Every structure is written in structure tokens, then in C-alpha cells.
Amino acid sequence: MAATFKFEWGSPERVLLSVNAEQAVVPGADGEFTMLPGHSPVIATLRPGVLDVMSQGLRKRLFVKSGFVEVDPTRLTVLAEKAFDVDDMTPALLAAEIKPAEADLANANDDEATSMANTLVSELRRLSNRAA
């Protein structure tokens, strides 16, 4: 049996997913990183992208807009107010998410906001092209 760590995704109200995972690829604001059991402690900001979790040989892909992760050698906790299972993202849902993201990009008033909004729009369009 492969070594595992506890993966938890939570919102302010409750834990939304809790599994034992072998690996997770996290879209950190400073770049993607892979979490394996025994990882050094990290607290990082998420950028818009797909969080990829391997659990018991199954792959779970969650699209996150923003949030934070806390890592220690035995746990990865994702605090994201909103995330979507990539497999459940329909073209209609993606279109509904792209529209306000494009508005945020058009109204961004500093480099950081522009970068985050641009990344969100790009990631949503990439997923939309795959879903089409």
C-alpha cells in the first residue's frame, strides 16, 4: 500500500471532501507544486487552475478560482470558497463562469488583479475548449 496523506477541501461552513491521497498537484500562485506524503510545511495562495488529486488509484480534478492551501507532512488542506469537479463542468457552466471573469479582467485596476483575472479567464477557456 502506498503512503498517503489526508487531503481535505473545505469551505467556511464545512468540509466538502476528505480522502486519503497519494499525490496532489496544486496550482499555487507562485507556480504548481506536487504534494507527496512527508512534504515540508507550506502555506500558499492558490491561483485559478486545476487541483489534481490521486486517491486509491483514482484521479479527482477540482477547478479552483482562488483560495489557500496549508501543507504539513501528513495533510493538505485546501480552503477555497468555490471549486468545481472538472468532470461536472458543462459548457453552460463554463460559459456562465467565463462571462463574469471577463468582466473582472476588463475592470482590473492593478497588475495583480489583472494577472489573476487573466489566469482565470485563460483556465476557464482552456476547460471550455476541452468540453466542446
Q: Where are the alpha helices (DSSP H) in the chain?
A: 91-107, 111-131
pLDDT along the chain (132 residues), means of 10: 87 83 95 95 94 92 93 94 87 94 94 92 91 67
- pLDDT value of residue 13: 74
Q: Residue with C-alpha cell 515540508?
A: 40
Half-sphere exposure of 44 (CA within 13 A, CB side): 22
Q: What is the pTM of this model?
A: 0.86
Between helix 111-131 and helix 91-107 the angle, nearest 10°, is 160
What radius of gyration, in Å, describes the C-alpha atoms of the chain?
15
